[in-house]
Chain A
């Protein structure tokens, strides 16, 4: 049991380190394509700096962005996985170790006293979303979420009579409101339906979808493509300084809704997508899926 805990802890630190110095391959490819299609010099200079930053971060083991984010974990815990209630404590320890070793910027601040805890842990931080699933493995998606791009997230509680066009308009409004603030190019995650908090959670989960994979529902795939085209046609471009690529992708998740409610959650994810995904087997052995 002791070994299991230790290997879990060190595996978690490893995936946090991977995320600090890498972006997922599909994001890198999308940024490269954006660089190729841009023709204005400011947009190209921004994307060139971004692509170079990805290389330098990986080579020199320097954090991608100085805002090393809030640690967020989405966990699918197999019901036969040997650890359950102790998991939270192990994740917290891993966050403390990672903060010291990588190093990460301490980003957990008490909203009443303004005191920074100094180690990225605190009340409800790290943020952990847990789902129980069949099997003996544990899947972890780790996200280090920067403040700049989380700040431009939005929730719209629309009237259902507004329908699909209301959803699309809300997304356009949210992008104008976001403007240069979330460090574009961004990935736009949209959660439709559920409840207020579910729509926002789905919006964040939507950003985890592979950028190069089409939505299996052709109707939703069409909406995603239309919105991506419309958002980019506004001309805000990389860093909001003009160009063709404000968004790399629009990704939609959904849930059934209450007859009287049409929640639309929007989550903006900056290009510096510090996300790692891994599977732990029941001995604590970790297999990294993303970023490689």
Chain B
């Protein structure tokens, strides 16, 4: 298991070397995007209106997160920056990666077969951030650089955030088609059947 510190935007080469079980810390820009960011961005992509995207996402890390944000003295300040459940985005993430060139997805609770195939095809990786560790994540925020689509409500908007030493994140899906969540769950299912047979 290797440890990495990566600066965004990351290259295809950076992503290729990541293997499940590796531990990664991030520096640079990450953007938040949960349910509504996926919906709106993909609507634009499917209508052929990608030029209406508020920024270029190539090589960036997309973070499944609905932050707690307040304006303090005219500046946006983040009070909560932990991950949300990634599984809700499982059905659309491959499209998002393909359309916008995202290389890293950060979230919690895992993504499954479809995204695993998509990450292998388009060379991206999923980083699991420990669920609930919002205070640690908030401490890694340097500043809020920008916010787009605030009309979606503050947890659903696309926040552009500069981070330093953001982590630990664990590579749970790599670009070779390995998925640690699926491996662990499959093993557990087998053991559960054995345990139940003895009960």
Contact = CB atoms under 8 A, between A and B. Distances in A.
Interface of A: 41-42, 45-46, 48-50, 52-53, 56-57, 60, 62-68, 103-105, 116, 146, 148, 165, 168-169, 172-173, 175-176, 179-181, 183, 230, 233-242, 270-272
A104 B70 CA distance: 11
Query: Which 7 residue pairs of A and B lie closest in terms of their CB atoms, listed nearest first?
Result: A66-B80, A183-B131, A57-B135, A53-B133, A272-B132, A234-B188, A62-B135
Interface of B: 1, 21, 23, 65-68, 70, 79-82, 84-85, 87, 108-110, 128, 130-139, 153, 155, 168, 170, 172, 180-181, 183-185, 187-189, 191-192, 195-196, 199
B145 to A, nearest CB: 19
A105 B70 CA distance: 10
B184 A45 contact: no
B135 A45 contact: no
Given A65-B82, A183-B131, A233 B195 contact: yes
A66 B70 contact: no
6 contacts: A42-B21, A45-B23, A60-B138, A66-B68, A105-B66, A146-B132
Contact of A270 (B132, B137, B153, B180): B132
Contacts of A236: 184-185, 188
A240 B187 CA distance: 11
B155 A105 contact: yes
B187 A180 contact: no
Contacts of B135: 53, 56-57, 60, 62-64
Given A46-B170, A63-B135, A103 B192 contact: no
Contacts of A183: 108-109, 131-132
Contacts of A165: 199
B130 A49 contact: yes
A41 B134 contact: no
Q: Which of B130, B133, B180 has the most CB of A within 10 A?
A: B133
A45 B1 CA distance: 12
Nearest to B180: A241
A231 B188 CA distance: 9
A100 B21 CA distance: 40
A156 B85 CA distance: 25
A168 B180 CA distance: 27
A180 B110 contact: yes
Given A46-B170, A53-B133, A103 B68 contact: yes
A224 B32 CA distance: 40
A53 B136 CA distance: 5
A241 B188 contact: no
B131 A56 contact: no
Nearest to A179: B185
A63 B184 contact: no
A68 B80 contact: yes
Contact of A41 (B1, B67, B136, B189): B1
A180 B181 contact: yes
Given A42-B23, A168-B199, A239-B130, 11 more contacts: A41-B21, A42-B1, A56-B139, A57-B134, A66-B66, A66-B84, A105-B155, A116-B153, A148-B84, A241-B170, A272-B132
A148 B134 contact: no
